[in-house]
Chains A and B, each alone.
Chain A
Amino acid sequence: MAHPPENDEDEGGRGVSRRTFLKTAGVGAAASSLAGVAIPAAGATVLGPGAAPLTLKVNGAARTVNVEPRVTLLRALRNHLDLTGAKEICDRGACGGCTVLLDGEPIASCLMLAADAEGHEITTVEGLGTPDAMSPVQAAFVEADALQCGFCTPGFVVSSTALLRKNANPSLEEVKDGLAGNICRCGTYSRVFEAVQKAAKASARPAAKRG
């Protein structure tokens, strides 16, 4: 039997992919920060279909990128600004590998359009520290060997940083909750927990001395 031409690369070859959906909804609504919002807000700028310039505030600096409206924040960071710390692992919000801070809140940057990130403060793992001046969380990860292949690690570092900013002294259960959106295939979880609790102690020490 002949089969109709197959031209859909999506799961099971059926339906509209998230990517085409975003494309259809390729509207840069400066006022909206929700990915996939299909209805343009009043006064929204309609971008596309071609590439359009956007200004993103990343790690304290304003950066201009020229991207199609369907490009996610993750791909804008990685493919247009060479900030490759955030990883594209599942590209659908399931793994946490692409976590960045948006106005201080951890988000999956694969689930947000770059256009929707305009006007927000974006912090990537590169903005938290450098190899020669690591943040306490980063240093604790290295010391506790909370990484193996390290591909998930930037996501864990950003999520852990966000967690400790909200809760300076989390219990083990709170650490597990805070990192529930991050997957590590090499199996580093217990050493990540150790690192987060080490980093919490390290930051608490000066305060304890003062007290």
Chain B
Amino acid sequence: MAQEQKPPEVPTVTYTVKAGHASNPQTMEVHAAQGDLKPWDLDSKLRVVKGRQPRLDGKYKVTGRAKYTFDISMPGMLWGRMVRSAVPAGQILKIDTSKAEALPGVKAVWTSDARTVRFAGQDVAAVAAVSPEVAEDAARLVQVTYDEASFVTDLEKAMADDAPLVYEPDKIPGPKDIPRKGNVLGPKPPGRGGSRGDVDKGFADAAVTIQQTYSVPTHTHSPLETHGVIAKWEGDQLTVWASTQGVFTVRDGMAEALGIDRKNVNVITEHMGGGFGSKLAPSASGSAFAVVACKLAKQAGAPVKLMLDRHEEHLCTGNAPSALMTVKIGAARDGSFTAVHYRSFGSAGIAGGAGTGGPAGSLHGKNPNLKIEEHDVFTNAGPAAPLRAPGHPQGAFALESAVDEVADRLGLDPLEVRRKNEASPVRLIQYDVGAKAIGWERRNKKPGEGAGPRKRGIGMANGNWYVIARGSGVGAEVRIHRDGSVEYFSGAQDIGTGFRTAMAMVVAEELGLKPTDVKPNVGDSRWPEGPGSGGSNTTNSVAPAVRLAAHDARMKLFALAAPGLGAKAEDLDAADGKIFVAASPGKSVAFKQTAAKMSGEVIAAVAERKKQFETYRQDLAGCQFAEVEVDTQTGVVRVIKVVAVNDCGFPINLLTTESQIIGAMIQGVSWALWENRVLDRNVGTMVNPNLESYKVLSSKDMFEAVPIVTEIANAGNNTSAAGIGEPCIVPTLGAVANAVFNASGARVRTLPITPDRVLAALAEARRS
């Protein structure tokens, strides 16, 4: 949900801000809800924000002291374990738990009411026992009898007329007004950006037209901490420690599933070992394990810890849909596009939501004629979940590969073709920054022209994302204690982004302190409400509320300092642990000394996020440049260097922002070269549900990663922050594929770019 541009209906205050990039500032008026602060902009003198602050929780994590959900135990705690369907389709005839129940140490057993199986890995039963070992034994003793049905796991096979049906036509999930046939739902109406103009006319006007089909397999999120919870009842009060991206989503989900009041559920996530979008549901996209744990705990009268294992994590906690994308581009001789037709099919397993048209809707904004068609194809596989910019890395890979193919056909520099079609002023700046950082002029003018069998090359690709924020129902609290110590509270969770440190920086900025002077308290549903961490929205949803609360506390403290300084509270400023008269900084008093003047023990300031109505840009721009080496004898690709240039509004903490960008490049390269969830098409189970044959990038594959943040005073909220976690993975796949082409002349249109595909593409290039 981007912030609306519609005229405000609440009392507003108008601020004039200097927005955009420092090289091209733009003065604009923004309307903020009354009581909100002027957004930090290009003129703001920030002392802490935009700096580089090591994580405040780092010392607990590097010494093994940080307790993740997986690490928590409590007296009397039982261990839960799920039993999952071993077949991909059919009916459950019988679940016999008698042997499991008879095993000494087993304290509770749960069985599913659902009888229809649609994927291998679905919830069937669960046990809770005195140790993980006994729970594992008990789970093995649960006997399930199935009436198996035929199934389909392969995207293209599922599209065939005679494919086994994953759903009866009337049971297909998704809006009823969208056409459906067999396992295919679509075309769906395009999302953001949408279609425009007349593509038929555009193609008729084109000097050249290319059409190609690209494909990406399913990826799994594979966070290193698996999904899991500990559920504990005290009377009708339920406490859930959860490895989640949404403390409040879990609270609401448990309350709803168990039929209890939300206020009787407390959810805690102090530290969390990664989610990447898979941990946004109350339990998981393909399992109700958290609800099951709560039920087992109630039944046993003891706390139950239920963590999934690595195998289960791959099967039922989500994945990124596969995608089969056909891109047709018409262009004039100078490289300007006359039409783009983007058509995709993808499978989110038994779920919908496999669209990949986002980048097509957003990139190449000068192209007048655009048509986007997306289709969901159902297969007997675990349901997908949002994975880091859902659908966008896939869509950008196809689209940006096709753009390169147009450039090649026209004999033009691929970067020039993008400049020709570029509508974003931010990306135009980024092209220059990125080209310089990678040394764009070093690329092969003719693909594969390098000498010898190991050839290097450079490619680039674009990506897009959106400014997403929850504009209401988000709060924060800041407390200053009499002894001068400061803490803040936000119920939202830090999923590894550095959220807790960034919020401490916002407090420190307002109060003139160091971030290390501020104690963070995050990830607890008893504290002010925050959003689920999805859509890169946590920082820009919560930071404005934190700033408001800190500002309120600051003014209360200034009121205490003012008489002694012989000034008015509004004429004071704070920095370096001092409160001083802004016009004559020599007149100052220590922060601590002022705090000691308070009449009670604590100054507490609570604030709610306010909506804002304009922003410099609604989208986030990014592009990436990759250098690779292709061994043309073995087909092995090695990534040498990736430069990522991205806009995230104002980065609150430049250090952790860069870390997220580096992480995205790494995950993107991993998708481009290795990751592939393999389902056995004959038995319908996953072939590689582990971390050795579901191959992810490791140390030996590591390349030089260069993160470059394009600071944009985005003015969409009082901190000008936007998001970064997702936008920076969107361009990576396309950049690597285009670099492989530039290095070797091999155009690989199917990911991952494995040696066999490189060799096949080289052979094809030699033939043509």
Contact = CB atoms under 8 A, between A and B. Distances in A.
Interface string B359-374: 0000000000000000
A9 B140 contact: yes
Nearest to B84: A9
A7 B272 contact: no
A187 B691 contact: no
Interface string A132-153: 1010001101110101111111
Contacts of A90: 310, 690-692
Interface stretch (A32-40, A71-79, A202-210): A71-79
Interface string B301-340: 0000000011100000000000000000000000000000
Given A86-B64, A152-B224, A1 B273 contact: no
B694 to A, nearest CB: 9
Interface in A176-191: 176-177, 179-180, 182-191
A142 B58 CA distance: 5
Interface-central residue, A139, A148, A154, A192, by most chain B CB under 10 Å = A148
A188 B84 CA distance: 33
B496 A148 contact: yes
Interface-central residue, A75, A79, A190, by most chain B CB under 10 Å = A190
A13 B132 CA distance: 20
Contact residue range for chain A?
A: 35 or more
A54 interface: no
Interface-central residue, B131, B222, B271, by most chain A CB under 10 Å = B131
Contacts of A84: 64, 67-68, 70-71
B57 interface: yes
Contacts of B58: 141-142, 145, 147, 150
B659 A148 contact: yes
B104 to A, nearest CB: 10
B699 A180 contact: yes
| Interface of chain A: mostly helix, strand, loop or mixed | loop
Interface in B57-112: 57-68, 70-71, 73, 83-84, 86-87, 90, 93, 96
A138 B224 contact: no
Contact of A153 (B62, B660, B664): B62
Contacts of A92: 310, 690, 692
B63 A75 contact: no
Given A71-B133, A94-B690, A7 B61 contact: no
A8 interface: yes
B222 A185 contact: yes
A110 to B, nearest CB: 11
B689 interface: yes
Nearest to A190: B705
Contacts of B683: 12
B496 A94 contact: no
A203 to B, nearest CB: 16
Nearest to B54: A142
Contact residue range for chain B?
A: 35 or more
Given A70-B133, A180-B700, A149 B63 contact: no
Interface-central residue, A125, A139, A189, by most chain B CB under 10 Å = A189
B223 A185 contact: yes
Contacts of B749: none
Interface stretch (B142-150, B475-483, B521-529): B142-150
Given A6-B144, A13-B685, A91-B309, A147 B704 contact: no
B132 A75 contact: yes
Given A151-B274, A189-B702, A91 B310 contact: yes
B698 A183 contact: yes
A145 B654 CA distance: 11
Given A88-B70, A151-B273, A188 B140 contact: no
Interface in B650-705: 655-656, 658-660, 662-667, 680, 683, 685, 687, 689-692, 696-700, 702, 704-705
B610 interface: no
Contacts of B690: 11, 90, 92, 94
B403 interface: no
Given A12-B685, A180-B699, A182-B699, A6 B146 contact: yes
Contacts of A183: 224, 691, 696, 698
Interface string A151-195: 111100100000000000000000111011011111111111100
A183 B667 CA distance: 12
Given A85-B63, A186-B663, 18 more contacts: A5-B96, A6-B87, A78-B71, A84-B64, A87-B225, A90-B692, A142-B54, A142-B59, A145-B659, A150-B273, A157-B62, A176-B699, A182-B698, A183-B224, A187-B662, A187-B697, A189-B666, A191-B662
Interface of A: 1-9, 11-13, 19, 68, 70-71, 75, 78-79, 82-92, 94-95, 97, 124-126, 128-132, 134, 138-139, 141-143, 145, 147-154, 157, 175-177, 179-180, 182-193
21 contacts: A5-B143, A9-B84, A11-B690, A71-B133, A89-B310, A90-B692, A138-B62, A139-B62, A148-B498, A148-B656, A149-B224, A150-B271, A150-B273, A150-B496, A175-B699, A185-B276, A186-B496, A187-B664, A188-B662, A190-B705, A191-B662
